[in-house]
Amino acid sequence: MTRRGTPLTTNTIIARLRSVKLWFAWMKKKGVLFFNPLAPVQVPKTVTRLPRGILSPDEIQNVMAQPDLKTVLGYRDRTMMEVLYATGSRARELCHLRVPDVNLGKKVVRINYGKGGRDRFAPLTSPACRFLERYLNEYRPKLAACIRPAGRDWLKKAGTGEDRVFLSAYGGPMGSVWLGAVMRRYIKQAGVNRPVSPVHCFRHSVATHLLGDGMDVRYVQVLLGHKSINSTQIYTHVERETLHRQHKEFHPLAARKDAAQPFIEEKEAHGAHA
């Protein structure tokens, strides 16, 4: 049980069992134990869960329409959404994105601080480039100078964002927690009431949409920065579920269960009973 009294997840139990098993193996190797009591225990494989909170293209567009583009913060937030949906970046990767990493001429950004220390390049969409260009030239300088004084110490925060692309209203770096809070507000305003990860839903969604439109899973793997293609193939299972659901709903024969033609044997059996 957790500290909150809720049951542990299967993956947590597996991870702890593996740790205890390795500890006993180390104790045996050092001569503290004569045998490893957990050696015969087979640790089950980690349960792979399908990603939750995948938004449809229409829902993504609806979320993107929420920020007020007439304000500095609204334009910044819309630009962040465009970059998230174009590159599939994680929250930490977006917050650490730096101005020199953006190449609008080649429509590409260098993603740093990736999971496992892996950096990568990710392409930008045309809308993302347009928003980034205006944001960097017009709105980012205003944020760097601080547009929201915070008491007597607000001048200490101005300019502390250095060369980060996305800055807070105080001129400092954008944090992952604050980014999540901002995105969560817009998702709620867009009418998405089911549980979704406020930032990661963009990453899940772009991967699912690209695979659904026919992109090779290996290219999606490179875009997301997955070390193993098995991590990317999770989204193919999501597409299969969606395909099955859509097929069942819209296929003319799948939808007409009452009009299914009986087999000859069923007709004969029905006639005999009649």
Known catalytic residues? 90, 115, 200, 203, 226, 235
8 Å CB contact between 101 and 166? no
- Of 96, 99, 103, the C-alpha closest to 121 is 103
**One-letter amino acid for residue 173 of the chain:** P
H/E stretch holding 108:
strand 108-111
Q: What stretch of H or E contains 18?
A: helix 10-29
SS3 content of the chain, % helix, strand, coil (to 5): 55, 5, 40
Phi-psi region of 219 (alpha: psi -120 to 50; beta: other; left: phi over 0): alpha
Question: Is-contact 204 235, C-beta < 8 A?
Answer: yes
